[in-house]
Each structure stands twice: as structure tokens, then as C-alpha cells.
Structure 1
Amino acid sequence: MAKTLFDKVWDAHVVTEIPGGNQVLYIDRHLIHEVTSPQAFNGLRRRGLPLLRKDRIVATADHNVPTIDQHLPIREPLGAKQVQMLTDNCKEFDVDLYGLGHPYQGIVHVIGPELGITRPGVTMVCGDSHTSTHGAFGAVAFGIGTSQVEQVMATQCLLLTKPKKMRINVEGDLARGVTAKDLILYVISQLGTGGGTGYFVEYAGSAVRALSMEGRMTVCNMSIEMGARGGLIAPDQTTFDYLAGREFSPRGQDWEAAVAYWKTLTTDADAHFDVEHTYRAEDITPMVTYGTNPGMGMGVKESIPVSSDIHGDASIQKAMKYMDLEAGKPLEQMPIDYVFIGSCTNSRIEDLRAVVGLIGDRKVADSVTAIVVPGSQQVSKQAIAEGLDKKLIAAGFQFREAGCSACLGMNEDKVPAGKYCVSTSNRNFEGRQGPGARTILASPLTAAAAAITGRVTDVRELLIEHV
């Protein structure tokens, strides 16, 4: 029987079938952080249960950590408490912890791939919705709730219903200035935030295959923003080259055996998908969001829609009120206040290189506060080795320490109420970056262009100046 990539990985991990359609799925890798793990550890204590496979768990501190002076005690009370609880729990249960100060510390969805913990063909979970990031390697990876975090700790399994299957093909070549972030924002704008509900998505097509691993991670990261359970991309030579030599990647004969298996992880030619969509790469331009969910996106030169079959007119009106924008008007040239380059979506070394490449000798506009937050200590170290930090600082950016930062209004890096922030993160919900903050999602290139001009800008115009 022909199988999709998703079928091959999922079915290989089914422990048993449960009457009524559910399945018990074995989990290979479990990533945890300081926000969604304390309750799970407490649940184990209440039940007197040990960790079943502590060797399958990796912990880090990322969500509620400061990005300035990480060597000092955390000033924010909740963040300090959560990080201390993670430290204490990992010590008590003997779990590997990459906490503040550790050379492997960083955003959980950045460190997994860069350390070689993320691999093709595995099942991965984390108490974080953007676990779908790891699907870029051909893994079945998805976010889980805190009660499920406890289940995995105790049993290394989850009771689940197998999702339906969707394939999204993007064919052709992305134009200059159009990135993986623009690709996924475009797809979500076409399908809406509920278009993937109930599905696991495989991304395919020539435009997807041409992406770097960093770009593929960006695409899979935002699968959840269209309601999908997760997203994945078939592993290929790009995948193998990325993983070769990583800290925890296989070595020697184990590597050869692993690659031989990974090469089998493709969708069979006659495999069935429940739904399939195809888009043309040449239709995609630099994207920005105008509303309060990631599906409210448009090309930077377009005008905000007056009505929408996908979102509904009431949702558009509500979003316009919160964003203090007017439907029918463009966003291009609108003044902005903040720029945030970071998050598990766009904080890797490739993202920082792209920003520095665009900036050149330009400076951040006087009216803009712009921060760059590397996704991990390793990204930061590499950026410093390449001199990217000095170039960013010289241009007027703040170069911070690793963490989730201004992606979410949980730590100290909040955007003030009423201010507009062009952000490379994944969500633009009301208050996501701080109470009353107004978020415009965009690619690192578009965000850097906004930082330079002080306005929402078509980055292609700045690229022309480089020619």
C-alpha cells in the first residue's frame, strides 16, 4: 500500500490500536522548557512516578528569560521562579538541562536542530505549539499540552487520533527579496487560520525543495498558524548536509545507516492525500500582516481588504479597531516604532546574515527601536565570530542574548501599548508582544527594511539600490 511521508513515520511509531480509532504513539524525542514543564513534574511527584526515558528528554530555558545580562539574577519574579523550578526539577529527575549560561542554551526549536537532536523519521513533542518547526527534517513533530507533557514523561507515549493528510505544493522560483517567511505567510493568507485544522501538512514542490534548512524550518514552524497539527518536508541532501557533524548526530557507520534509512522517507508516487493545494512561487511577493491573526496577510504593495470570505467582515473590522488601521488603505510607507528580529521562526544565523547583508552602511531610523535576538548561544557565538554583532550595533540595532524575547509578552522584552512593531515572529494576536502592542509580521529582510526607513517598506526597492 502506498504511503505518504507522514504515514511512514507515524505508522512506524504506533504501539497499539485502541477501539474507537485512537492509537498509542511512541515518542522518540521530548523537549521541555521552563513554562510548561513544572506542572508535569509535580504530577509525577503526586503519583510517585519516575521518568520512563530521561535520556529522551532535553530541557532548556527560553520563553521567560531576559535577553540582557543573563549572567545576573533574573529580576522578573515569575521568570526567576520558572527558571529556578526547571533547574530544580531537572536536577531531581536527572534531566539534561541547557540553562542560562550553558553553551547550548537557546530557543527549544532552534537548539534541537542545531545540535542534531532533531532527525528525520523521529516523533518529537514539546509543550509548545511551534514544535512543528522540527518537521522540516522529515520528523513528525507537534506541540502538546501540559497534561500530555506529563504523559510522555511517565510513559514515553501519547494516546492520539491520527490526523488527516494535506499536501501543499509551491512550484517555481521565489523572486529576489522573497523568502521562506513570505512563502508561508502567503500560504496562510490563502487558506486562513483554520485551513489546516485536522491535518498534518507535507510541503513539496520545487520552491520548497530549493529552500535551505533554515528556510524549511521557518515554513514548518508556522504550520500551526493555519490550524494544522504540524508540517513536514521530505529529507534530502540538503537535510543530510545540515545534520552532518552536529553535536549529537550519528557518526561513522551509524551515520551511513541513518542516511540510508532517511533516504526512504519520501512520499510514494501514488500515495493519497485528503486535500492538496498548489501555488506558484512567482505569485508571492514580500508579505506583511495587517490584522490580528497570521492569516490576515497581504503583499506589501497591496491594500488592506475591506471584506474577506476567509476571515469574515466582523473579524476584519475588529482587527482594524485594535490595529488602528483603515480597510482599503495600504500599509506601505506607514510609520512604525519597533522592529524585532528573532523568535523560533527567524533567529538563526542565516536570518542574521541576511539582515546584515541588506543593511550595508545604512542606519536604523531615529524613530525606531530595533532589536536582534539570536535564537541560541551557538547562533550568537557564530554571529560574533563573523562580526555580525558589530555591524548590527554600528547600524543602530540592539544585539541581545538568546531567548524567545519579544515574540510573546511574557518576558521583559515587551512592545509598549499602541506602538507598531514589525516582527519576524509567528503570531500577531492582540497583546501577543505586550498589552496593546500592534504587530506586523514579516520576513527578516522586510523587518530590516522597516528599521532602516522607519516605515513599512518594500524591501525590493532597497535591494535595487545595492545593484
Structure 2
Amino acid sequence: MGKTLVEKIWDAHVVKRQEGFPDILYIDTHLIHEVTSPQAFDGLRKRGLPVLRPQQTVATADHNVPTLNQHLPIKEELSRYQVDMLTKNCAEFGIELYGLGHPYQGIVHVIGPELGVTLPGKTMVCGDSHTSTHGAFGAIAFGIGTSQVEQVFATQCLLQQKPKTMKIEVNGELEKGVGAKDIILYIIAKISAAGGTGYFIEYAGSAIRSLSMEARMTICNMSIEMGARGGLIAPDQITFDYVNGREFAPKGEEWERSLAYWKTLYSDDDAEFDSVLTFDAANIQPMITYGTNPGMGMGITEQIPTTVTQPESERPSYQKALDYMGFQDGEEVIGKPIDYVFIGSCTNSRIEDLREVAAFVQGKQKASNVEVWIVPGSKQVEAQAKLEGIDKVFESAGFQLREPGCSACLGMNEDKIPAGKYCVSTSNRNFEGRQGPNARTLLVSPLTAAAAAVTGKIVDVRELI
């Protein structure tokens, strides 16, 4: 019997397998940032251990950094302490750091791909749940906890149970105005925020294969939002073209050897998945969330589902979510005024996202009732936006182009949405308080966010393009 792509990569990285025990899995690349690494470094110190393979560790500051005036000392005390500790720890343990001011600094899940660190067939981990982003290249990538960060530092391995496999096919053509973010929000809305629990998901089908690399990263990024361990897409010519020539990608003969291996990375025709789901791209419209988990999403022209249609055991939490958001059963969200628009995060802060938004807002002005933050995913994205004049388009529209970081995705830094305010956001989570205490988050695509920014309310972007 053939193997799935997940099985091929997983089995190639098992150092030891024993019946009744987790596999010892070798990790090719370890990504770290300032929030989940300090305790792991302290653990090494207490044991007198080095980082086993520092050259396979990539460090950057992203979660807690300010996105204005990064050349100045960080004002917020905890943020400053965490970034300073990362600098100290990387220096002590021999890890190269792309810190504030470095031309490679940025969100960890943005810089890995753009630097050619993320490659097909790799195993990759990070103390961050959205590590699944890197699966877009045909890699096994997943988030880990701080104790596991320490394990990888010390051994370059992890104890892991082999996951179940799920294939999600999306076939057909997308309507104009519908993109990768809408695809993944649609899938999560259909199968729920727990529908992928225990699985590693392979995305397939003609609609997936037609996507650019950056769009594929958006899809894989939100695998965790349906409870999955991770998500991936088999590499193809689109993948190879994206990787070729990047800073740390293989070169010359090594490239040819790597390419030959990467072309074997696909699920065999007779491979068996534990679960298979199929969706029609024609059924997907611009999506928006209305609740407090990413599974509470709907097409933008639809009505909020009523509480009585929910399973009886879930009705109290469902009603609580609607109360938090200030919504009612059966309500439409079209036309609802909003307060903030945030375009950024590891889901949608790449140059393609900024280009799409700039093309839409060219010659337009933001609504007077809305504050708009555009936060590029890396210094390279920021530099490219300026090179192409995208910064000038945003400036003319009244949008604020900030500096790279996780920003208002998680409300851990200075970029918080005020209590009670509605933020139309391209990020990945809409939990209570995610973007600031009592902030209300509506997850959408960059195009839908841009439409909200210029109209000051929730609109169907298809009517404006």
C-alpha cells in the first residue's frame, strides 16, 4: 500500500520507533522567538547543556515588538525585557538572531519561507501554534510548548505520536473577490473549530493547486484553527519556483539533488487517509466570522445562525459569544459600522496581501470612522512595499503602514483594539480579548478588510470590484 505525504516525511525523520511509545522524531529546523524561548534557555542552563545544533535554529523578535519607532528603545517593560533576553540568550548559545533593526527581522512564519529556510520535506517546529504555515511547502511543521522547545534545543528531536491523516479537497474555480482566506474560513465553518482534531491535513484539489505560494501559506496557517496538528500541500512547480534563488535555499548541484527528492513528495494514488472531505470552490463567497472562535463564520451575505439550531450542550456558549460580539440571532452583518481595520499577522501580511489591498484602495480614501493599521510581516516585505510605491498608496488613502511584528493579532504588545470596538481583521483568531480586553474581532480576507476600510462598514467586496 502507498503512503500519504505526511507518512513519507514522518517516516523519513523517525530516529527510533518502539511499539507502545511515541516516535523519536528528528527536527530539521527550529524556529524561535522572544515569548516561548526564555524558560527553555533557562532549563538548558540549569542542566549545563548547550544547544545541540544552533545552526539549525532560526531566531527573530516578533510577538512583543512595537510596530512604530523600532529604532528607539522599547517603552513597554515586559516587551523590552523579553526582547533583551532573546538577544542575550542567542548570544550565549551561539544562535543567529534576526532582531529589531536586522534586514531579515519579521514574523517567524513570514521570514522562514522568504529566506529559503522553509523547504519541502523538512520537519519544522516553533513555540507558536501557527507553525503549520510552513506546511504549504510540503513540510511537516507544527507548534510546540516551551518544555518541547527545550527538548529540541538539547537533542534536535521530539517525542511525538504519529498523527492521523485527513485529506481536504477543494475543486473548481473561485469567484472573483474570493481568495485563500475565504477558503480556509469556509472549511473551518463547515467542520467546526474542532473538526480537524488529531489530524495532519493535506489540502488538495484544483482550487488549491491554482493558488500562489503565499495563498497556500494562508491556508496552512489556519489548520490549527480547526484543531489540526498541522496542514500541508504537496510541492509542485509553483513551490520550486518560489524557493529557487532565495537566500538560504540550496544552490547548484545541491539544488538539483534537492529538487529530485522534492519531486517524490506527494501522496501515492493508493495511499489511504483516515478521513477525506471534499468541497466545491463555487460555493465559497467572501467569509466573515461573527463569534469568538474561527468556526463561527459564514458567507458575508448570510444571516447569523440562531441559537436554537445549535446542539443543546453548546447553546449557552454560543449565546455567550453572540452577547460578547453584540450580535443577535438571525442578524445580517452587511452594513454594520466598524471601528478598526487590521491587515497583518502571519496569516495575511505578505507582499501579495499588501499588493492586493493597494490595488483595491488606489485612489480611494479610508472612511472617517475607521482607523486602519497595515503591518507588514517582515522588513523584506516592508522594503518591497516601499520599492513598489505601495506605501504611498496607503498614505494617500489614510492607512497607516507600520513596521513588522505580530501587532494587533494577539494584543500582547502595544497594538491593542479598545474595549467594545469592532475590528475587521486579517488575522487568524477571534477569541474573547484576543486583540485587546473586550475587543470584538471579525476575521476576513485582505480584500474584504480593504473594502471595510474605505466604506466604514461591513460590505460584500464583490459589489465593489
Give the Cα–Cα distance (whole angstroms) in 1 for the partners of residues 61 and 174 of structure 2: 35
Q: Which residue of 1 aligns with 2:401?
A: 399
Q: Which residue of 1 aligns with 2:264?
A: 264
Determine if contact 1:306/1:316 at 8 Å carries over to the other structure. no
Give the Cα–Cα distance (whole angstroms) in 2 for the partners of residues 243 and 213 of structure 1: 10
Give the Cα–Cα distance (whole angstroms) in 2 for the partners of residues 126 and 99 of structure 1: 17
Q: Which residue of 1 aligns with 2:364?
A: 362
After TM superposition, the structure 1 stretch with the greater mean CA deviation from structure 2, 375-384 or 320-329, is: 320-329
Structure 1 segment 265-304 matched on structure 2, within 5 A: 265-304=265-304
Structure 1 segment 302-451 matched on structure 2, within 5 A: 302-307=302-307, 308-309=309-310, 312-451=314-453
Give the Cα–Cα distance (whole angstroms) in 2 for the partners of residues 254 and 326 of structure 1: 58
Q: Which residue of 2 aligns with 1:15?
A: 15
TM-score (norm 2): 0.99
Cα deviations by residue, 1:180-200 (Å, 9 ceiling, x for unpaired)? 000000000001011000000
Q: Secondary structure at the match of 2:136?
A: helix
Q: Which residue of 1 aligns with 2:226?
A: 226
Give the Cα–Cα distance (whole angstroms) in 1 for the partners of residues 207 and 166 of structure 2: 17
Structure 1 segment 126-205 matched on structure 2, within 5 A: 126-205=126-205
Misfit runs of 4+, over 6 Å: none
Give the Cα–Cα distance (whole angstroms) in 2 for the partners of residues 435 and 427 of structure 1: 14
What letter corresponds to residue 383 of structure 1 in structure 2? A
What letter corresponds to residue 346 of structure 2 in structure 1? C
Instruction: Please report how far the alpha carbon of residue 256 of structure 1 lies from its aligned counterpart in structure 2 after TM superposition.
Output: 1.0
Q: Secondary structure at the match of 1:406?
A: helix
Give the Cα–Cα distance (whole angstroms) in 2 for the partners of residues 245 and 105 of structure 1: 19
Give the Cα–Cα distance (whole angstroms) in 1 for the partners of residues 87 and 420 of structure 2: 36
Q: Report % sequence identity.
A: 68
Q: Secondary structure at the match of 2:330?
A: coil
Q: Secondary structure at the match of 1:312?
A: helix
Q: Secondary structure at the match of 2:142?
A: strand
Instruction: Please report how far the alpha carbon of residue 315 of structure 1 lies from its aligned counterpart in structure 2 after TM superposition.
Output: 2.4
Q: Secondary structure at the match of 2:464?
A: helix
Give the Cα–Cα distance (whole angstroms) in 1 for the partners of residues 64 and 376 of structure 2: 15
RMSD, aligned α-carbons = 0.8
Instruction: Please report how far the alpha carbon of residue 257 of structure 1 lies from its aligned counterpart in structure 2 after TM superposition.
Output: 1.0
TM-score (norm 1): 0.98
Instruction: Please report how far the alpha carbon of residue 29 of structure 1 lies from its aligned counterpart in structure 2 after TM superposition.
Output: 0.2
Cα deviations by residue, 1:303-343 (Å, 9 ceiling, x for unpaired)? 10003447932222011110011110101110000000000
Give the Cα–Cα distance (whole angstroms) in 2 for the partners of residues 32 and 345 of structure 1: 18
Structure 1 segment 11-90 matched on structure 2, within 5 A: 11-90=11-90
What letter corresponds to residue 11 of structure 1 in structure 2? D
Give the Cα–Cα distance (whole angstroms) in 1 for the partners of residues 302 and 220 of structure 2: 25
Give the Cα–Cα distance (whole angstroms) in 1 for the partners of residues 254 and 348 of structure 2: 31
Q: Which residue of 2 aligns with 1:106?
A: 106
Structure 2, unaligned stretches of length 5 or more? none
Cα deviations by residue, 1:279-308 (Å, 9 ceiling, x for unpaired)? 000000000000000000000000100034
Cα deviations by residue, 1:62-120 (Å, 9 ceiling, x for unpaired)? 00000000000000000000000000000000101000000000000000000000000
Instruction: Please report how far the alpha carbon of residue 18 of structure 1 lies from its aligned counterpart in structure 2 after TM superposition.
Output: 3.1
Alignment coverage as a number of residue pairs: 463
Give the Cα–Cα distance (whole angstroms) in 1 for the partners of residues 393 and 256 of structure 2: 40
After TM superposition, the structure 1 stretch with the greater mean CA deviation from structure 2, 191-200 or 12-21, is: 12-21
Determine if contact 1:166/1:274 at 8 Å carries over to the other structure. yes
